[in-house]
Structure 1
Amino acid sequence: MNLKALSYKLRRDAINIICAGKTGHIGGDMSVMEILVELYFKQMNISPENMDDENRDLFILSKGHSMEAYYAVLAEKNFVNLDDIIKNFSKFGSKYIGHPNNKLPGIEMNSGSLGHGLPVCVGMAIASKMDKKNNRIYVVMGDGELAEGSVWEGAMAARQYKLDNLCAVVDRNRLQISGNTEDIMGHDDLHERFKSFGWTVIDVKDGNDIDELDAAFEKAKTVKDCPSVLIANTVKGKGSSVIENKANWHHRVPSEDEYQTIMKDLKTAEEVLLNDGQ
């Protein structure tokens, strides 16, 4: 499977979900896509068939506002139906809401209240070790989310309990709803910060590159006696010049003209990657 091309196909699915529901966090959806694709189609032992298996890998989308990207991935993985999502997303009474809903297949917990994902995953990782399971626990956070104190409490606990079955990913797109993360609550050297908390830190220069992500996740699997974190340097709005690196696209629905341009850009990128893969 050509995961690079798939990432652009799923971006188009996410855009269609947003436009159908007339709401959505489009910028973060686009930046996180390759991370989700790499996890669900290469790294994680998880499928609709093994959701009752206690040894399955566990995943939490802590930056739960990037739900449209997550819906696209879950649909492609056959947990949910894309047409059903597009028809019902954000409608009154719908189960397809703007943040993860654990009433849906494949979703482990409700998330989106920022700062909760990592601490919950620490608990999951401790429980897995106590039960002598061989599974891994993954969490994806946004860089704006790292201003939450609970993240760093979780980070301390993860090191204290030597949770080498825990892998965190930071979607480091450097933009949040109010603007540039470094202007709002700067992270300075994020690598050194996590390192000072006792984590193995793996920098992903291009967090929208499947090959780099693959190598980073494989490296994380070799880490012993401490948790690992991938700092994935991504582009907010990745895939179209209409939305790339623009803070005002954190939460916005494209106009018809914008929609046509964005979809053309994404389709072109997908076709180029498909041809490269032949």
Structure 2
Amino acid sequence: MEWCCGSFRLDLTRGPLLMAIINATPDSFSDGYPDPERACARAERLVAEGADILDVGGESTRPGAEAVPAAEEIARVVPVIERLADRFAVPISVDTQKAAVAEAAVAAGASIVNGVSASLDVASMKGLLQRYDVGYVAMHMRARPAVMQQAVHYDDVVAEVTDSLGKVRDELTEAGVASRRVLYDPGIGFGKKLAHNLALLRAAPSMADALGRPLLMGISRKSWIRDLFHRDMDKSAASLEWRDAVTAMASLLLPFPAVAVHRVHQVEWLKAGLTLREELGETAPVLSE
């Protein structure tokens, strides 16, 4: 099975791929690299550690974050993407809610659009996806970041998120977007409480089966870690290191091939863990329903 992203054909059968996060923002909840050269230095380290994809975002989507104008977001991500696409032989992704930003990013060299608001506005991305043969991540988000953690309620979070992403899949299919170009992301932490997040993580195999494609999971450094362990989190090095350790351990419990891509801030530990899991084979534990 492949993920077709422009000129890249990513093999989803050999083991999980690692999508490394590069925040080209001054207000990320954990780190940020708004200077293009600093972002490139960060990318060089991530690729050396084993990153398969570099994901650039110019708008914070942490809970409570306000929207950034498209022009400002473009000004943040395009210089970074241009440099990364020129320097590294890995796909570059843009993390955005806006079709205009995605268009500018693809023109700058991005091969993947990480559509973090697909369940809200995939229709705005269809034209871009019809014009360009880029890969697409369709993520579930019930409401925009500014309000997404307000009045959160699901009767059956797994069924509702799966149904929402299924509607996105059907809309993309009707628009002629090949399924081999699309992965699905249940949106851990986006309009979900701890119990919802854990239920979605457990249900990864059934969701991938229902959608007919593997999942991308973005659990790195998110508030579910704080809520599960009742531990305060800040931007200190010790706090980030602890969150990265929990992220790596949790990611190793997610089953492959249902979860084919992990979106993470810290690559090295997870890469080492995945290598060990491969060596251990069937003796390695995985999280399942």
TM above 0.5, yes or no, is: no
TM-score for the superposition, normalised by structure 2: 0.38
TM-score for the superposition, normalised by structure 1: 0.39
Hey, which of these two has a bigger chunk of strand by percent?
2
Work out which structure has the larger RCO, using CA pairs closer than 8 Å and 6 or more positions apart in sequence.
1
